[in-house]
Amino acid sequence: MHPTASLAGQTALVTGGGRGIGKAIALGLGDAGAEVVVNYSTSATAAEEVVRTIEASGGKAYALQSNVSVETEVDSLIKAILERSGRIDVLVNNAGITRDGLLMRMKIDDWQSVIDLNLTGIFLCCRAIARPMLKQKSGRIINITSVVGLMGNAGQANYAAAKAGVIGLTRTAAKELASRGITVNAVAPGFIATDMTKDLNTEAILKDIPLGTFGTQEQVAGVVRFLAGDPAAAYITGQVLQVDGGMVMA
């Protein structure tokens, strides 16, 4: 655990925390002293491995299965955490999928499943956690969006629409919850090396990234950790922090 453990005594939920960026976020929050709830949908072994890694470095963590695109499962997930940990201080809405295809050929199922998880899933988690956070008069919510939600992307109408929606949801939640000291921000990664991006045409993409490389999961996790635990971040809300090597400058 980090010597200046800023999240000691706090509980953090990371959706999709067993793999990819979510795993790096879970490990980062564990290192900052939080008890981490590693949510997963299908990757039980990976999630348990993240739990063991946090515990091995002196931290606290447990894994909980839940499909966060389903209302009843989200409500049960939040209830289970409140029963076990008593509070939730940090929510990181990280779980996300892609189902790419050109607009004119996109199947309704591919549209719907991306909206259901990447947008409705975040709404469901924010809604379920709003009441307990309002009661405790504190909380930090961090939603993982994407630069694609700011700039659009050919072949990703569903994903871009969901990620743009997350930005509107973030700003609305920030306004609704601010009076009780709860901050709500979005982090917009550019291209980060994970399973989600492993099949992309790297050379073509790198041309559009001023810093000339893909980002790392740890770089995204570092920004989330700052928003979740740094005292300076208490005065940041309703913002979209881009971690994109300069891809989108506006």
Give the dihedral of Cα atoms 122, 198, 61, 55; nearest 10 deg: -170
**Among positions 7, 12, 13, 16, the unique one binding ligand NAP when judged by CB under 6 A:** 16
Q: Kindly list the strands in the beta sheet with 90-93, ordered across the sheet, starting from the edge strand earlier in the chain.
A: 60-65, 35-40, 11-14, 90-93, 139-144, 182-189, 240-243
User: Of 13-21, 102-110, 172-180, 229-237, which part binds ligand NAP (CB under 6 A)?
Assistant: 13-21
Give the dihedral of Cα atoms 43, 47, 53, 55; nearest 10 deg: -160
> Residue 231 Cβ, how far from ligand NAP at the closest point, in Å?
26
- 94 makes contact with ligand NAP (CB under 6 A): yes
User: Of 37-45, 51-59, 131-139, 178-186, which part binds ligand NAP (CB under 6 A)?
Assistant: 37-45
> Does residue 235 have an active-site annotation?
no
**Among positions 130, 141, 192, 221, the unique one binding ligand NAP when judged by CB under 6 A:** 192
DSSP 8: T
Q: What's the rounded Cα separation, in Å, for the pair 99 and 2?
A: 38
Degrees, nearest 5: CA angle 105-21-187: 80
User: Of 41-49, 129-137, 205-213, 228-236, which part binds ligand NAP (CB under 6 A)?
Assistant: 41-49
**Among positions 10, 11, 15, 156, the unique one binding ligand NAP when judged by CB under 6 A:** 15
Q: How far is CA 237 from CA 133, 177, 182, 188, 231, in A?
A: 15, 10, 8, 14, 13
Q: How far is CA 113 from CA 26, 46, 68, 110, 185, in A?
A: 25, 23, 12, 5, 24
- 197 makes contact with ligand NAP (CB under 6 A): yes
CB of 117 or CB of 228, closer to ligand NAP: 117
Interactions with ligand NAP, residue window 105-164 (CB under 6 A): 117, 144, 146
Tell me, by CB under 6 A, how many residues bind ligand NAP: 29
| Nearest residue to 31 (alpha-carbon basis) of 59, 12, 64 | 59
**Among positions 4, 42, 45, 57, the unique one binding ligand NAP when judged by CB under 6 A:** 42
- 40 makes contact with ligand NAP (CB under 6 A): yes
Residues forming the site for ligand NAP (CB under 6 A): 15-16, 18-22, 39-43, 67-69, 94-97, 117, 144, 146, 189, 191-192, 194-197
Active centre residues (catalytic): 159
